[in-house]
Amino acid sequence: MTSRHETDIYPMEPLPDNHITEPMTRIDPEMNNRTLFPSARECLFAFTAILLLLLVIYGSSFRAPFHYDDYVNIVDNPNIHLRDFSLHSLRNVLYGKKPNHTWDTRPLSYLTFALNYYVGRTDVFGYHAVNFAIHYLSSVLLFFLLHLTLAASFAVRDDPKHVYSLSLLSTIFWATHPIQVTAVTYIVQRMTSMAAMFYLMSMLFFALYRLTAGKRQKIIRLALCILAGILAMLSKENAVMLPVSILLYEMLIIQGPGPNPGPKKRNGAIISLLVIITGMVVLACILTTPSAVFNGYQTRYFTMQERILTEPRVILFYLSLLVYPVSSRFTLLHDIELSRNLLTPWTTLPAIVLVMSIIPAGLYLSRKHPVISFGILFFFLNHLIEGTVIPLELIYEHRNYLPSLFFFPIFIIMIFRLLSRIPGTGTIPVLCFFSGIILLVSQAHTTHMRNYRFLSGVRLWSDNIEKSPALSTPYLNLGRSLWEIGLTEKSMEALNKAEALNRFNNTIQHRTLIFNKALYDAYITRQYRKAGEAFQKALLINNGSPAIWAELSRIHLILGNPEKAMDLAGHALSFWPDNPDLLFVKTMILFKTGRLEPALSEITKMIELYPDHPKYQILMAEIHRGKKDRENP
> 96 — alpha (psi -120 to 50), left (phi > 0) or beta?
left
Q: Say yes or no to pLDDT of 383 above 60.
A: yes
Question: Is 339 in contact with 317 (CB distance < 8 Å)?
Answer: no
Q: Most distant CA pair in the chain: distance in Å? A: 107
* Portion of the chain with pLDDT greater than 90, in percent: 54
Please state at what angle helix 269-287 crosses helix 215-235, rounded to 10 degrees: 20
* pLDDT grade for 36, boundaries at 50, 70 and 90: confident
* E strand or H helix at 574: none
Q: Is there a cis peptide before residue 345, judged by omega within 30 degrees of 0?
A: yes
Please tell me which of 5-9, 78-82, 178-182, 596-600 the model is most confident about, judged by mean pLDDT.
178-182
Burial 184-205 (b: 16+ CB within 10 A, else e): bbbbbbbbbbbbbbbbbbbbbb
Give the DSSP per-residue string, 282-351: HHHHHH--HHHHHGGGGGBSS-HHHHHHHHHHHHHHHHHHHHS--GGG--SS-------BTTBSTTHHHH
Torsion sign across C-alpha atoms 56, 60, 66, 68? negative
What is the arithmetic mean of pLDDT over 526-548?
92
pTM of the model: 0.88
Give the DSSP per-residue string, 190-235: HHHHHHHHHHHHHHHHHHHHHTB-SHHHHHHHHHHHHHHHHHHHHH
What is the arithmetic mean of pLDDT over 148-166?
71
Question: Is 583 in contact with 614 (CB distance < 8 Å)?
Answer: no
What is the arithmetic mean of pLDDT over 465-486?
94
3-state SS, residue 20: strand
For residue 490, count other CB atoms closer than 10 A to its CB: 16
What is the arithmetic mean of pLDDT over 175-185?
96
CA distances to 415, 496, 501, 509 from 493, in Å:
52, 5, 12, 17
* pLDDT grade for 616, boundaries at 50, 70 and 90: confident
Tell me, rounded to whole angstroms, the distance of Cα 313 from its chain centroid.
21
3-state SS, residue 152: coil
Backbone phi and psi for residue 538, each to the nearest 5 degrees, phi listed first: -60, -40
Q: What is the pLDDT of residue 349?
A: 96
Question: Is 515 in contact with 533 (CB distance < 8 Å)?
Answer: no
* Cα angle, residue 83 at apex, residues 457 and 570 outer, rounded to 5°: 80
Q: What is the pLDDT of residue 514?
A: 94
Distance CA 152, CA 203 (A): 14
Helix (H), strand (E) counts: the chain: 29, 0
Give the DSSP per-residue string, 433-496: HHHHHHHHHHHHHHHHHHHHHTT-HHHHHHHHHHH-TT-HHHHHHHHHHHHHTT-HHHHHHHHH
CA distances to 14, 174, 211, 247 from 17, in Å:
9, 35, 12, 25
Higher pLDDT among residues 459 and 257, named by residue: 459
Contacts of 335 by beta carbon, 8 Å cutoff, 6+ apart: 468, 469, 470, 471
What is the arithmetic mean of pLDDT over 548-577?
92
Torsion sign across C-alpha atoms 224, 229, 234, 235? positive
* pLDDT grade for 632, boundaries at 50, 70 and 90: confident
Question: Strand pairing partners for 341?
Answer: 344
Contacts of 386 by beta carbon, 8 Å cutoff, 6+ apart: 238, 392, 396, 399
CA distances to 150, 156, 252, 351 from 261, in Å:
19, 21, 12, 37
Look up the CATH architecture of domain 551-633: Alpha Horseshoe (1.25)
* pLDDT grade for 155, boundaries at 50, 70 and 90: very low
Tell me, rounded to whole angstroms, the distance of Cα 543 from its chain centroid.
27
Q: Which long-range contacts (CB under 8 A, 24 or more apart) does 112-119 make?
A: 112/190, 112/194, 113/73, 113/74, 113/80, 113/190, 114/80, 114/81, 114/82, 115/82, 117/74, 117/80, 117/81, 117/82, 118/82, 118/83
Return the C-alpha torsion angle 191, 448, 175, 400, nearest 10. Answer: 50
Q: What is the pLDDT of residue 143?
A: 96
The tens digit of pLDDT for each residue in 71-116 reads 999 998 888 988 888 888 888 888 877 765 667 778 999 999 999 9
250 CB-side CA count, 13 A? 21
Q: What is the pLDDT of residue 16?
A: 41
Give the DSSP per-residue string, 408-441: HHHHHHHHHHHHHT--SSSHHHHHHHHHHHHHHH
The domain segmentation of the chain, as residue ranges, is: 33-66+122-288+301-445, 456-461+470-543, 551-633
For residue 560, count other CB atoms closer than 10 A to its CB: 9
Beta strands, E only, 556-596: none
Question: Is 264 in contact with 241 (CB distance < 8 Å)?
Answer: no
Question: Is 173 in contact with 440 (CB distance < 8 Å)?
Answer: yes
- Average model confidence (pLDDT) across the chain: 85
Of 211, 209, 257, 158, nearest to 36 (Cα)?
Answer: 211
